Structure 1
Amino acid sequence: MFRAILPEGQITCERYEQVAEGVELYDEHDQFIAFVPYDNLHAVVDEDTYLRDDRSIM
């Protein structure tokens, strides 16, 4: 699982694809969840890293 970190919050997804203008997020059933433009994206972080690391990623 991954987390897309945005200025407004976070979106959890199973996988993502980088495209020319941003990232496309997909759930565990390979259903499209959201498109996030690079201008609005702070990071895409592996869920295991996000939960395990004590450092702030914000």
Structure 2
Amino acid sequence: MFRAILPEGQILCDRYERVENGLELYDDDDTLVAFVPYDNLHALVDEDVYGEDDRSIM
């Protein structure tokens, strides 16, 4: 699972694809959840990396 961090909040997704102007975020059914332009994306975090740690990722 991934977490896209944006200026106005966060979006969870199961997978993503890089496209020319941003990221397309998909759920576990391969349904498009959101398109995030690169200019609005602060970070894309792999939840498996931070899942067992109590420290803040912000």
TM-score (norm 2): 0.87
How far off is 1:25 after superposition?
A: 0.2
Q: Whole-Å Cα distance in 1 between the matches of residues 52 and 40 of structure 2?
A: 25
Residue 32 (structure 1) aligns with: 32
Q: Whole-Å Cα distance in 2 between the matches of residues 5 and 45 of structure 1?
A: 8
CA RMSD across the alignment: 1.2
Alignment of 1:1-58 (within 5 A): 1-53=1-53, 54=55, 56-58=56-58
> Once the two structures are superposed, what CA deviation does each residue of 1:33-57 show, in whole Å capped at 9, x if it has no partner?
0000000001111012233342x43
Q: Whole-Å Cα distance in 2 between the matches of residues 4 and 32 of structure 1?
A: 14
- Structure 2 gaps, min length 5: none
Q: Whole-Å Cα distance in 2 between the matches of residues 57 and 6 of structure 1?
A: 13
- Structure 1 gaps, min length 5: none
TM-score (norm 1): 0.87
Q: Whole-Å Cα distance in 1 between the matches of residues 50 and 19 of structure 2?
A: 23
